[in-house]
């Protein structure tokens, strides 16, 4: 079952030709979740073959423009393509005013409804829980109200091993009994221990998105054991003071969060446009946490357990 | 002296990978004017080597998103690069509210002032007049308030022919007299007719931008004699009824406006995303007005007299 993130924008406030502002698309079992939506996101979706119409949930971490200026254009396009399915938008309340004022100016009534789910800063909160995923929001430390998101896939249900089913003529009434934990006893009285014939659900995979934040170790208990952590890494060591001043992190700090959180892997991104080559950021992160990779626009990363 | 337009976006409401939404940059004697600013404009500027910092005047024809969604990102970038020079913004009043609500949400006070000049629909109006250009706005016929713009370069001042100055030892006090129209008489009493030694200013060049509009012949007197006309051509003949319904034009209608206005050349653009190949639109326009070209993102067109 697919669990993968595609980076649509790996840059920060000032876009470059190579790095658009923040936007990630998470594919969980072919359900698509858009996380942040910087300017140009809908064009990147076209470029990288991601269908905007498949997205039912959009998460906006905060209202700095490099995280949402592309949203109104995306909504407009969904409207023009005749979408009728409701769209769920997880955001801070001011975004509704921003969207509404622009719809009014163009005399547009969207062809679909937006269901606003407002984020809050009081602590960790479950903001979505459906059959494929649960999503938690958690506050980050930034200049304005900002939340990160933790996506955890739902464990697959128990299944009887296919080869066992093929090789044994199991009466229908035995299926629910085996799945509920009973050992199977066939007509000849042979007994098969439940543990040998039922597949247990695998460990669920998870993805955390820490958009813009100061270095904050208090995040680690929330992130603990995450399969893949995306953490902003706007600056290199030499600009640590600027990072602190601007409520951002260095690549090394991102790696410390990954290490302390016992993350499986770390993606760093949101690079300041001053770094034409981000190799130094990757090197500094890897000194702390080896399994670090650099976000590149268009890259898809399959999340492992 | 340069007078050229660069197309940053030749598409319409739904962007494609090949055609971003509307944005043109006009270079008049190395003064730069941005006309409309669809999503991705600032990224196209980077791509095509146009310096955003050089732009002091931005014209937004109307508040459909494909004509202004890129503006807030551009303003944000100008702020982040520390611009202090005032920026003149020609637009309908609702745009100020749209900008302000987004600045408030990000707790941003721009590093520069925006001087808003509001458009009106009562008729042709001079909205800018400086030493290099005059700009008229004029109402278009669209679903919401929309204006077109006519840019006319200022005539160059009269100049004494360089070869004449080099070959004659003209006393300084004679220069203003010659430029004011006197014939020159040298110390030997030789007379040189003013017309043979003074260069007259050339005919001034002009560029008109008709963004989104129904076919409207009443534009022609305003546009009469324009050097280069950009006119939207959202649809082909077969979709003329849709064009009318949506307050847009066909390529053939754009060509009729160019012909009746005695334009020097016509650029068509704002193509509906349904046309993967716009050759048919070009052909239909050329049946009426031969000197038609198709807008392509990144294209620069030097305006001739």
Query: In whole angstroms, what is the distance from residue B269 CA to residue A244 CA?
Result: 47
Q: What is the mean pLDDT of chain B?
A: 95
Q: Can A66 be counted among the known catalytic residues? A: yes
Closest chain A residue to B62 measured between Cα atoms?
A: A106
- For residue range B108-127, list pLDDT tens digits in order: 999 999 999 999 999 999 99
Kindly name the residue from A36, A56, A66, A237 that is annotated as catalytic. Answer: A66
Contact B43 A98 (CB under 8 A): no
* pLDDT number for residue A156: 67
* pLDDT number for residue A155: 76
CA distance A101 to chain B (A): 6
CA A234, A237, A242, A247 torsion: positive or negative? positive
Which is it for strands A147-153 and A206-210: parallel, antiparallel or unpaired?
A: antiparallel
* pLDDT number for residue A159: 82
- For residue range B70-99, list pLDDT tens digits in order: 999 999 999 999 999 999 999 999 999 999
In this prediction, residue A1 has a pLDDT band, given cuts at 50, 70 and 90, of confident
* pLDDT number for residue B156: 67
List of chain B residues whose C-beta atoms are within 8 Å of the C-beta of residue A64 = 106
**Which run of H or of E encompasses B162?**
helix B162-167
Q: Is the pLDDT of residue A201 over 80?
A: no
Assigned CATH for A3-157+201-302 = 3.60.15.10
Among B14, B15, B39, B246, the strongest candidate for a mutation testing the A interface, having the largest count of A CBs within 10 A, is B39
Burial profile B51-85: b = 16 or more Cβ within 10 angstroms, e = fewer: ebeebebbbbbbbbbbbbbbbbbbbbbbbbeebee
Q: What is the mean pLDDT of chain A?
A: 95
Contact A43 B40 (CB under 8 A): yes
Q: Among A192-201, A219-228, B56-65, B216-225, which stretch is predicted with the lowest mean pLDDT?
A: A192-201
* Residues of B taking part in catalysis: 66
List of chain A residues whose C-beta atoms are within 8 Å of the C-beta of residue B63 = 102, 105-106
- For residue range A274-293, list pLDDT tens digits in order: 999 999 999 999 999 999 99
The domain locations on chain A are 3-157+201-302, 159-199
Closest chain A residue to B44 measured between Cα atoms?
A: A17
In this prediction, residue B271 has a pLDDT band, given cuts at 50, 70 and 90, of very high
Q: How many A/B residue pairs have CB atoms within 8 Å?
A: 108
Tokens of A170: 């199991």
When pLDDT is averaged across residues A238-246 and rounded to a whole number, the result is 97
Contact B14 A77 (CB under 8 A): yes
Q: Is the pLDDT of residue B138 over 90?
A: yes
């Amino acid at each position: 079952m697919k669990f993968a993130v595609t980076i649509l924008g790996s840059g920060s406030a000032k876009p470059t030709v190579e790095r658009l502002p923040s936007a990630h698309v998470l594919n969980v079992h072919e359900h698509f979740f858009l996380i942040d939506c910087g300017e140009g996101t809908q064009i990147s979706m076209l470029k990288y073959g991601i269908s905007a119409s498949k997205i039912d949930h959009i998460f906006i971490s905060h209202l700095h423009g490099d995280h949402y200026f592309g949203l109104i254009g995306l909504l407009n396009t969904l409207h023009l393509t005749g979408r009728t399915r409701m769209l769920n938008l997880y955001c801070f309340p001011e975004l509704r005013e921003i969207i509404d004022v622009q719809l009014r100016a163009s005399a547009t009534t969207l062809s679909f409804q937006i269901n606003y789910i407002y984020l809050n800063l009081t602590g960790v909160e479950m903001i979505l829980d459906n059959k494929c995923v649960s999503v938690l929001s958690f506050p980050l430390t930034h200049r304005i109200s900002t939340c990160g998101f933790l996506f955890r896939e739902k464990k697959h249900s128990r299944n009887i091993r296919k080869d066992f089913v093929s090789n044994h003529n199991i009466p229908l009434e035995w299926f629910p009994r085996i799945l509920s934990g009973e050992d199977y006893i066939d007509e000849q009285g042979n007994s098969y221990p439940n543990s040998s014939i039922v597949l247990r659900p695998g460990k669920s995979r998870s993805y955390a998105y820490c958009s813009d934040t100061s270095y904050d170790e208090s995040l680690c208990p929330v992130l603990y054991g995450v399969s893949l952590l995306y953490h902003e890494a706007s600056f290199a060591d030499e600009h640590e003071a600027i990072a602190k001043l601007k409520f951002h992190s260095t690549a090394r700090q991102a790696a410390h969060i990954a290490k302390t959180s016992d993350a499986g892997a770390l993606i760093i991104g949101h690079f300041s446009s001053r770094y034409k080559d981000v190799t130094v950021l990757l090197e500094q992160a890897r000194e702390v946490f080896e399994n670090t990779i650099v976000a590149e626009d268009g890259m898809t990363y399959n999340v492992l357990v």
